[in-house]
Structure 1
Amino acid sequence: MKLQGWVRAIGVGTALAAMAIGASARAEWWQAETAHFIVYSESKKDDAEQFARLLERYDNALRYLQGYPIPGPDMGEANKVKVFRSGDIDDIAYVAGAPGSGIAGFYIPRAGSTVAFVPAREKRRDMSSVRRSSSGPTLDTEQVLFHEYTHHFMLTNFSTAYPAWYSEGFAELYSTVEFRDDGSFVGGLVPQARGAALKQLPDVRLSRLFDHKVKLTGLEQYQSYAFGWLLSHYLNFNEERRGQLPAYLAALNKGEDSLTAAKRIFGNLDTLQAELRKYKGRNQFPVMVSPPNAVPEPAVALRQLPPAEEALMREYIRSQRGVDRKEAKDVARDLSGKGAAYPDNLKAQLIVAEAHLDARNFDEAEAAAKRALALAPDSSFANFLMGSIFLARADENKDKALYAQARPWLVKAHKLDQKDPRPMIGYYMSYREAGEPIPEDALVILESAWDYAKYDALYRLILARQLLDENKGDLARSVLSPIAFAAHGTEKENKIRATVDLIDESKIDEARAKLAEIFKEAEDRQKGRKG
């Protein structure tokens, strides 16, 4: 759900309401949960289990490659990526707001509510990572999801700022991983859907790619995915250039100019360009093959959704994708009466309460939240919803007293689940939005959310704004850098990058003002939108 206008992504239009995704009379829905994913799959039990296991194996492979523990520490249910698997590719394109595009899946990072959407009705990948269409090869579901999850993994686990070409190249490099029956996996395979672009389109000039100030053309932006893979692959596998990439990334994170650092570390860029041109002409590229049983078989907990939850899946998917004001009203209307129809199902009450909150139907939202609390007084999310209802009412009515009434619910929600970042952020925002002095415990709790929300760009902005208010420019810079360097130059100012530049120049007041512009623009976009 949306937290004071900051958590939920923008919706996609009413086309979703008419799509085939959702529950039907014969739908069979399964929930498959692993250490890092919760999959809602409209499929047979075995298929749901296999898909969830594949995703978890991918997370394990990334951990193996980085030398991290497998499966890692318990991250809490709120921080698992929820994957909605239903319909076909055409349906997913509607969900993404791009009908007819062939989009095979997409992901939305939100603190405590990260979601991904993929089709259920698609041929599973064998040893090929590509589908064929009349327009040529296109990315398959698994590769798209692997690519996006790699971004999530990077922001969650790495504190380094990456240039756009490497962020995308790194994700492409690992998205083609293939698993073998003996527990090994192969990494570094060519992304087949990029192969044609790699061979047929012109290279991106390194003097432009390495210069963050350059505004890449549309063709260069498109080609930067394939060329980013090539450059990332070459710098990772070429023995003679081993160590150059880490040195370059370290230089960027210390504030050195991107092009200057590239020339200093990589040497003559024309020479590197020629090496890459020769490299992409190879018939075979080197790959990394892990030893057998490098990736353990993940545990998967399965349950079939009961009729109450199955009946609400269509509205739940629409709500989780993100809704504007009209769509929120539509979803709430479609759920009208369903809360009372399923009084004994906690999940149903939470879905109904969240949808009515998005629609600003506060009385209906509170009634459903109270039903949820009657069923499960120790439900962290139910307590968080009650606190959020008061936050939203306070925002709607400009009533400071309501912010105070929200806090006990948010505090209880946090005590019940100390790994869910939403109550932490909500508690801090209850003071910020009220215009009251922010107490020490609220500041501490905002920073404590870092371990569970660093993949959310909006959370990073909120934290950086607070750090700048405390004159902690260096810390604010470290928070902003990973999202500031992710975009190349465009016609529109990169205000996050501009904020980082101002911090580097010790212009903290100007950095605060620039960050305030970012929040003002976000607020303006949110006008007329909820969820």
Structure 2
Amino acid sequence: MLARTLALLVSLFSFSLSAVAASHNPGRDSWHQIDSANFRVVTNGDAARVRVLVQDLERYRTVALQLLGANGDGQKLTIYATADRDSYASLVGDELADVTNGLFDTTAQGSYALVNLESDEGGSQQRAREFLFHEYTHFLSYHRNTTYYPYWYSEGFAEFMSTMTFPAPGRYQLGAVPSERAATLYYMAPMPLERLLTATIYNTSNDDKARLYASGWMLAHWLIMESGKTEEFKDYVRGYNRGADPVKTLETALGVKLADVKQRYKQLFEHGNFAMVTGDIPAGFREAQPQVQLLSQQSAVTEIAGFLVMSGYNVGGLDDLLHYAHKKGIYSHQLTAVQADAETRLGNFDQAQRLLETIPPQQRKQFWYQGVDAWLELTRQIHTPEKSRDRESLKRARDEFVYLVNNDSDNASHWYGLALAMDMLGYPRDKYVEMLEQAYFRAPRQIYIAEWLARELYEKKDAEYFTTVAQPLLLELKDEESHRQIKAMLAEMRAQQGHRQEAKASARLVHKQVKSTGS
């Protein structure tokens, strides 16, 4: 019985978190940077243990790419691996530290993950590894990709992949029951199938999310390991992205009866017979040899401060870091730029300007300076009435963004800033939309980038391209008015596409009739 299996796993899984104030100052810790070909880990934990974790991540990446039929683009994922709950809370704040042991986010500046290493059981690193395997699955599935997967499958598949182990050199194993999801199923039971299939990140409460992850894993396990419908599932995903009913589409695309899936779903929970599979790690794989570097206190403080500002999780912790840096004599020009970035985001433009003016001219070609200065100038002008905007400041911001896209082209934020500056300077639509497209290619899931591009394509009446951008955007938009507008635009563009196709078909028919008459 699965219930008995779950009870055993629950007994191994239990742990507790204490609700303490986020008073820990991470600047006082020793931080290491551990680099491999595809991962950069910043940690105040045991560097030797984290190095082993990075080796596992490289193994996982190779197998996952093979199973997904994907090609990695070489972009590194940055991971912040904290030694304990207090240092984790210093990065994400008490509220998130009380309910999570890890986070993943993707921004226009890039993607990152965090993990609390203290959540490991008996020093095995199992939880940290499972979490990072889960989140890296999302990274591989969604990075620079606009295909959206149903919520249950997105999380369920990531949970399925998270249990990958390497039982012998050159071998991997998949299909184990994730201990945390076992606990959820044991205490809460699976989510009803129709509810699971129609769940989205927006209509699922925080209380129900753990249940969705566990139930999604169980259904994904059936789909991958037992159903024989993985190719048909691609049609299901295409239908989902077109807005088709997720319950009816399951039956039509997979050629199954919902009642039969329900019955098997129930049996899996009640009997707990989950198959496992083993395979070979791709032959060309070479074991990673991650490089470990002890960061200077100055570099570590700057790194953590930059993360606090970029992520926005616990910006209040920045003051303690700045105070500590001044006290220890490790305050740097780059840290000044980080502080100016924070002031810009708060709307304190004059203070941000005063801070940047203290940075010596010879340092002002650094990316960290150019990016902050460009966004300060641009943001200040965005908040200035249009008739009063300073064109020279906008031109300076434009030139800095040009420098950045020419020298740091992977960063979508640079392209987005350039598009904004060009638009505000009155460039023709085709010119600034070209820059906006580059931002979209690099960060298609940033809603503000995708929505702006969709609206520009609507104005250009580029129906095919608009549809490509707008359809996945509808699955992400939370603002009801924006959702209504984009949906109406999509209906209009599709109607126009239909009319054009009818016209082309009529023209072809007339052409054939003329040829027939002529012959």
TM category, shorter: 0.7 to 0.9
CA drift of 1:117 comes to: 2.4
CA deviation vs aligned residue, 1:6-57 (integer Å, no higher than 9, x gap): xxxxxxxxx9994315121xx3211123333322111344234333333343
1:134 aligned residue? none
Name the aligned partner's letter for residue 408 of structure 2. D
For residues 185 and 457 of structure 1, do their structure 2 counterparts lie closer, same or farther at Cα, with a shift above 3 Å needed?
A: farther
Q: Within the alignment, does 1:165 sit opposite 2:152 as a pair?
A: yes
Residue 149 (structure 1) aligned to one of 120, 136, 148: 136
For residues 162 and 45 of structure 1, do their structure 2 counterparts lie closer, same or farther at Cα, with a shift above 3 Å needed?
A: closer
The answer (yes or no) to whether the contact 2:235–2:253 under 8 Å persists in 1 is yes
Residue 35 (structure 1) aligned to one of 25, 34, 37: 37
The answer (yes or no) to whether the contact 2:35–2:292 under 8 Å persists in 1 is yes
1:46 aligned residue? 48
Rounded to whole Å, the distance in 1 between the matches of 2:189 and 2:155 is: 18
Name the aligned partner's letter for residue 412 of structure 1. Y
Rounded to whole Å, the distance in 1 between the matches of 2:111 and 2:360 is: 24
Classify the secondary structure of the residue corresponding to 2:219: helix
- State how 1:139-218 maps to structure 2 within 5 Å: 140-156=127-143, 158-180=145-167, 182-199=169-186, 201-211=188-198
2:237 aligned residue? 249
- State how 1:37-436 maps to structure 2 within 5 Å: 37-69=39-71, 72-75=72-75, 80-93=76-89, 95-98=92-95, 101-123=98-120, 129=126, 140-156=127-143, 158-180=145-167, 182-199=169-186, 201-211=188-198, 221-266=209-254, 267-292=256-281, 295-312=285-302, 315-322=305-312, 327=316, 330=319, 334=323, 347-362=334-349, 365-366=352-353, 374=361, 378-398=365-385, 399-401=389-391, 402-432=393-423, 434=424, 436=426
Q: Within the alignment, does 1:19 sit opposite 2:23 as a pair?
A: yes
- State how 1:373-522 maps to structure 2 within 5 Å: 374=361, 378-398=365-385, 399-401=389-391, 402-432=393-423, 434=424, 436-482=426-472, 484-485=474-475, 498=484, 501-506=487-492
Name the aligned partner's letter for residue 431 of structure 2. D
1:521 aligned residue? none
1:526 aligned residue? none
CA drift of 1:193 comes to: 0.7
Larger Rg: 2
CA drift of 1:366 comes to: 4.8
1:518 aligned residue? none
CA deviation vs aligned residue, 1:307-346 (integer Å, no higher than 9, x gap): 322344553443233169x84984796488689x558x66
CA deviation vs aligned residue, 1:425-479 (integer Å, no higher than 9, x gap): 10112244x3835443321122123342234344333333332333334434433
Rounded to whole Å, the distance in 1 between the matches of 2:54 and 2:155 is: 24
For residues 323 and 244 of structure 1, do their structure 2 counterparts lie closer, same or farther at Cα, with a shift above 3 Å needed?
A: closer
Rounded to whole Å, the distance in 2 between the matches of 1:209 and 1:203 is: 9
2:9 aligned residue? none
CA deviation vs aligned residue, 1:396-437 (integer Å, no higher than 9, x gap): 4442423232100110111112222121010112244x3835
Rounded to whole Å, the distance in 2 between the matches of 1:217 and 1:362 is: 38
The answer (yes or no) to whether the contact 1:183–1:296 under 8 Å persists in 2 is no
Rounded to whole Å, the distance in 2 between the matches of 1:477 and 1:464 is: 8
CA drift of 1:86 comes to: 2.5
Name the aligned partner's letter for residue 156 of structure 2. G
CA drift of 1:237 comes to: 1.4
Rounded to whole Å, the distance in 1 between the matches of 2:197 and 2:185 is: 18
CA drift of 1:499 comes to: 5.6
Rounded to whole Å, the distance in 2 between the matches of 1:282 and 1:476 is: 48
What is the TM-score normalised by the length of structure 2? Answer: 0.76
Give structure 1 stretches of 5+ with no counterpart: 1-14, 130-139, 510-531
What is the TM-score normalised by the length of structure 1? Answer: 0.75
CA deviation vs aligned residue, 1:226-285 (integer Å, no higher than 9, x gap): 111111111111254443322211222344333332232343211110012123344442
The answer (yes or no) to whether the contact 1:36–1:81 under 8 Å persists in 2 is yes
For residues 34 and 372 of structure 1, do their structure 2 counterparts lie closer, same or farther at Cα, with a shift above 3 Å needed?
A: farther
1:527 aligned residue? none
Rounded to whole Å, the distance in 2 between the matches of 1:183 and 1:378 is: 46
For residues 34 and 441 of structure 1, do their structure 2 counterparts lie closer, same or farther at Cα, with a shift above 3 Å needed?
A: farther
Rounded to whole Å, the distance in 2 between the matches of 1:428 and 1:334 is: 37
Rounded to whole Å, the distance in 1 between the matches of 2:290 and 2:316 is: 34
Classify the secondary structure of the residue corresponding to 2:442: helix
Higher helix proportion:
2
CA deviation vs aligned residue, 1:87-146 (integer Å, no higher than 9, x gap): 4135535625526634111122111143332224454787784xxxxxxxxxx3332333
The answer (yes or no) to whether the contact 1:178–1:187 under 8 Å persists in 2 is yes
Name the aligned partner's letter for residue 506 of structure 1. E
Name the aligned partner's letter for residue 236 of structure 1. I
CA deviation vs aligned residue, 1:487-517 (integer Å, no higher than 9, x gap): 9xxxx876676566435522799xxxxxxxx
Structure with the larger RCO, 1 or 2 (CA within 8 Å, 6+ apart): 1
> How many residues of Structure 1 are paired with residues of Structure 2 in the alignment?
469
CA drift of 1:485 comes to: 3.8
The answer (yes or no) to whether the contact 2:302–2:335 under 8 Å persists in 1 is yes
Name the aligned partner's letter for residue 427 of structure 1. L
Rounded to whole Å, the distance in 2 between the matches of 1:249 and 1:30 is: 41
Give structure 2 stretches of 5+ with no counterpart: 1-18, 496-519
Classify the secondary structure of the residue corresponding to 2:280: coil
